[in-house]
Each structure stands twice: as C-alpha cells, then as structure tokens.
Amino acid sequence: MGVAFYDNRDPLADPDTADVDRVYCLDWDRFGPAEWATLDRIYRQLPGWVEYRGVPFWFGTDEHDIPHLCASVEPTGLQVSGVLPATDWEAWEGRFGAAIAELPGRELK
C-alpha cells in the first residue's frame, strides 16, 4: 500500500504543465535515522535531481522559473510543490510514490 496524499490544487488541470502542490502524509513521529536516510537516498535517485538548497530541488532551483520542483517537511507531511512539464511530473511522481511506499505514513483525516 502506498502513502496517502492530497492535492491542494489539481496538478494536471493543464494537460501540458503540472502546477504541483501535493502533501504526502508521511508520519514524522515514526521516522528515525534509517527512515530519514532512506528518504534522502530516494530524493537523490529521482528524475531531475539538482541539489539541496535548504530543501531538496529537482529540475531547477529558481522557484520563479519553470521547471522546478521542491519538497519541504511540514507538520501535515511532505509538501511537494513546483511547476514543470506534465510528463516530467508524471514520471517523477510515479517513481516517488513507489519508492516511499514502505516509509511510515498516516491516514488522511
């Protein structure tokens, strides 16, 4: 079973460009050093990996330019946001969702 998520807006409202604001419901209270290390490894293996600049970035690091995608740890879960070609988002999201499936998650409320 995968980690639950919710979208704050439809990332594929435009069929060509994904405008992403998604929260993956990871359960930070159940994360230890091994889970954080796994999440870091996952980040670095995803398509478009660029670097950390306070938070991980993929495809670009300027939040005012397209493409870019970043993630931040929030109380509700891992918030992923950015704007990028829809095909890149679909490839990234498919690999990310599969990779985090075994990490501790929580149910949507």
- Kindly state whether residue 77 falls inside one of the protein's structural domains: yes
Would you call the peptide bond into 15 cis, given omega within 30 degrees of 0 as the criterion?
no
Q: Which domain holds residue 83?
A: 5-99
pLDDT(109) > 80: no
Which H or E run includes 33?
A: helix 33-45
Q: Which residue, 12, 9, 28, 2, is CA-closest to 95?
A: 2
Banded model confidence at residue 108, pLDDT cuts 50, 70, 90: confident
- Kindly state whether residue 26 falls inside one of the protein's structural domains: yes
- Kindly state whether residue 20 falls inside one of the protein's structural domains: yes
- Kindly state whether residue 107 falls inside one of the protein's structural domains: no
Mean pLDDT (whole number) for 11-21: 95
- Kindly state whether residue 106 falls inside one of the protein's structural domains: no
- Kindly state whether residue 19 falls inside one of the protein's structural domains: yes
Q: What is the pLDDT of residue 51?
A: 96
Q: How many domains does the chain fold into?
A: 1
